[in-house]
Structure 1
Amino acid sequence: PTSGPSESTAVFVDPATLEVRGVLPVYGTSGVLPLRTWLDSLHRNMLLGDVGRNYSELAASWLWVAALGGLLLWATSRSPRRTNGRGWQILRQRYWHSSLGLVLLLGLLFFSATGLTWSRWAGDNISALRAHFGWMTPAVNTSLLPDNPSPMDEHAGHHMAPSPRHNMAGMTMPKAAAVAIKPTQFDGVVQAASAAGIQAGKIEIRPTTKANKAWIVSEIDRRWPTKVDTVAVDPATFRVTDKVTFAQYGLLAKLTRWGVDAHMGVLFGLANQLLLAAFGLGLCVLIVLGYRLWWLRRPAAQGSHPAETLVYHWRQLGLSARFLLLVCTVTLAVSLPVMGISLLVLLLIDALRWQRAQG
């Protein structure tokens, strides 16, 4: 059957009777079943395709800004000594909002950073930066002829769909002769990989029908301690032609691997998943408290207060502060395009509010 991006077909076989018990589409390297695939799509793109994926990237782009901005407000704010009834209510809401925000701060920054590596536009920029500095994850060389290995994507089989800009359609490539895959080859390839040190309880075998290409056998046990060693095996001679171990990963590649797995809730098993659930619940409460605080602090009479817009505060800055802020803003807008576009929309609305307040 035809499978979508990062999808494959799983056949469930009784190992004792060899009876096929079921066939289901599964998602990713870990082979999650349809219900979890649906939940994953809900988290990744709200079941709206690319539009929803852009919305998800928008949230990840601004999450770290909101977290650090809240920290700055908490550090620079001072509680009034005397308050009336409404002021005490605001003070209490601010206390709970800021306290919960401090508890969740590291998690907010972590999920923003790891989420952006999955995103479409910012993720491409992050990958380009890593490739430029040689921070990509090493990959085995599958060519049985002299060739250079290519970097491997930590998100392979997870949340990454093919990027349109990487589409190779229309390019003329030499066609390699196809070779038949024999079932007996799997046993030989697995034995060769096992002898080379592939000992994890979960492995993935990626055969190929292309001549002069090796099969890939990878450990896919993402729990701590991480087991993701990979070997390339010649399916004709069962000779291991290349090997990459997790110990060979650079520091940034290891941190990326651990970050991705922790984000997915697999690095530390059930404890990881319970922590994610608690964080998600805490984040929902934090958002509700934030909106509640905003509502309590709204001006009683809008017309009696100046519109403290971004334009208003921009005009209060000195020349050097304006220049520094402009450089940082442009850099972030280019690096995080969805943030940049949303910021332009926000500035347009803000300028209209400021103009209306002046008139």
Structure 2
Amino acid sequence: MHAPETEPRAEAQGRRAHRRNPSPGLSTTIQTVARRVHFLAGILVAPFLVVLCLTGLVYVFSPQIHENLYRSDLFVNRAEGTPRSLTDQIRAALTAHPESKLKSVVTAPSPDRTTRIVLSVPGPAGTPDRTVFVDPYTGYLNGELSTVENRLPANTWLRQLHSNLHLGNPGRLYAELAASWLPIVVVGGLVLWLAKTRRKRRPREVFLPAVRDKKGWPRVRAMHGALGLWLTVGLVAVGVSGLTMSQFAGGRANGAADPLHLRAPVLTATPVPIPAGVRQIGIDQALGIGRAAGLSGELVVTSPTSPGVPFTVTEISEGLPIHRGAVAIDPFTGTVTERIRWSDYPVLAKLSTVAAEFHTGSLLGLANQIILAVLAVATLVLIAWGYRMWWIHNPYRGRWASLPRPVARRLPRPALITTLLGIAVLGAMLPVFGASLVVFLLVDAGVGRIKRPKKPVAARVSPRPAPRPAGSEG
């Protein structure tokens, strides 16, 4: 009599485990993805965020640095009397620098400020301009500095430090990498914190958890989660506003392309016919026409570079209310040939302009600077606590179980397809994010392979002996 065929023990255990662990629901799936992304991406991106916070903390106060560093250039000795014409001030600057040509004039934003006469200097492409600071009351030259796009030397240096670490275009990748991942890491952490505390009855435990009775990892996690919750809106705003000034985000890898209309419209300044026997108007007249057209605040007046090219007058004042108007003026008749108003900006261009001013700390003045400084310092503390949590459950101390499990093999097919489609859209709009995501997935797969336990060798299971008939001999 043959023994009945028995089911292998390993297979039976696997079926029982499958019945105990059904497919995860939507909430569990979201938490799984959030934990994986927040943990690994946070560790990889945090060093770049630290550099951005430190450099941004200095850059945001560049206006105060300028006023102290270049005070003798920027301010007049006495704001008394009637200001001289722009023509006289330009003549004084060109007399001191006859080798240069007039490029533009930046009007004084207030009565106690000097006029900036921007001169183009002979030299190879990319040579900085020479800006001469003229006292409008006396015609005295207070000083001169090399400037780039009307930015003072300290501002240019700090801006490049923050945006590319003085490495040029390749260096811009580090800033865009951090700005691309920051909102994703923040949202992932927010999902984890709210999912962990959603059963708390008192909202106070969500925003201000008690930490006196906690020690070690629970204490650090409570502080890290609560601080991250408070910083969520600010960090997302900083990340998104930084992307508005990035090199590749929004399909702007090609400098001439702007598929989402994120850039501000610019004047075409189409040349006009040159009439015979008609003299060209002066720069003072062009400034007066610009002001009569409704432009106010600090203005940049650009003189014609060749016959028939119009004058242009552009608003550059920062802060609220937004000043972004511009006009082109016929140099012979004085008529406005082209006009751009703030209302002419596309919606996304308006949002991009406001976001850029917020990111640089100029939208709300000193209050804006303080907000950004607090965000930078708080982010450094948040990152420090995050690394502390990681160190307590340090994988290099033999605790691989503390790492989140790989996600791809655990997601239901619909959730996996939706996630991949979302990643594809983000990758198209944020190329640096898309490229870094490939690296992230490779690292994620590598960590998963290291964590994966080796399959135990299946023990041989002998079939149970058949029952003996009654009365048989032993």
State the TM-score, normalizing by the size of structure 1: 0.77
In structure 2, what is the Cα distance between the partners aligned to 1:133 and 1:265? Answer: 24
Does the aligned pair in 2 maintain the 1:90–1:296 contact within 8 Å?
yes
Alignment of 1:137-216 (within 5 A): 137-144=264-271, 185-200=282-297, 202-216=298-312
Does the aligned pair in 2 maintain the 1:208–1:215 contact within 8 Å?
yes
Match of 2:429 among 301, 319, 335: 335
Deviation at 1:144, TM superposition (A): 4.2
What residue number does 2:371 align with?
A: 275
Alignment of 1:72-91 (within 5 A): 72-78=191-197, 88-91=215-218
What residue number does 1:352 align with?
A: 446
What residue number does 2:136 align with?
A: 15
Deviation at 1:11, TM superposition (A): 0.7
Equivalent pairs, count: 317
Unaligned 5+ runs, structure 2: 1-120, 201-211, 455-474
Match of 2:349 among 244, 253, 257: 253
**% of aligned pairs identical?**
34
What residue number does 2:407 align with?
A: 313
What residue number does 2:145 align with?
A: 24
Match of 2:416 among 293, 311, 322: 322
Alignment of 1:229-308 (within 5 A): 229-298=325-394, 302=398, 305=401, 308=404
1:231 alignment partner, SS class: strand
2:138 alignment partner, SS class: coil
Q: Which moved more, 1:70-79 or 1:299-308?
A: 299-308
What residue number does 1:167 align with?
A: none
Unaligned 5+ runs, structure 1: 147-176
Deviation at 1:8, TM superposition (A): 3.4
Question: Could you tell me which amino acid in structure 2 is paired with residue 53 of structure 1?
Answer: R
In structure 2, what is the Cα distance between the partners aligned to 1:134 and 1:301? Answer: 51
Deviation at 1:54, TM superposition (A): 0.6
What residue number does 2:219 align with?
A: 92
1:122 alignment partner, SS class: coil
In structure 2, what is the Cα distance between the partners aligned to 1:255 and 1:284? Answer: 27
* CA spacing shift, 1:3–1:235, aligned 2, 3 Å: farther
Question: Could you tell me which amino acid in structure 1 is paired with residue 401 of structure 2?
Answer: H
Question: Could you tell me which amino acid in structure 1 is paired with residue 389 of structure 2?
Answer: L
In structure 2, what is the Cα distance between the partners aligned to 1:107 and 1:220? Answer: 26
Higher relative contact order (CA 8 A, sep 6+): 2
Deviation at 1:218, TM superposition (A): 0.8
Does the aligned pair in 2 maintain the 1:45–1:52 contact within 8 Å?
yes
Which of the two has higher C-alpha Rg?
Answer: 2
Deviation at 1:33, TM superposition (A): 2.2
In structure 2, what is the Cα distance between the partners aligned to 1:108 and 1:127? Answer: 28
State the TM-score, normalizing by the size of structure 2: 0.60
1:17 alignment partner, SS class: coil
In structure 2, what is the Cα distance between the partners aligned to 1:268 and 1:86? Answer: 41
Which deviations, in whole Å up to 9, do the C-alpha atoms of 1:159-206 show, x marking residues without a partner? xxxxxxxxxxxxxxxxxx9xxxx9972111111112211232x00112
Match of 1:115 among 217, 223, 242: 242
1:118 alignment partner, SS class: coil
2:282 alignment partner, SS class: helix
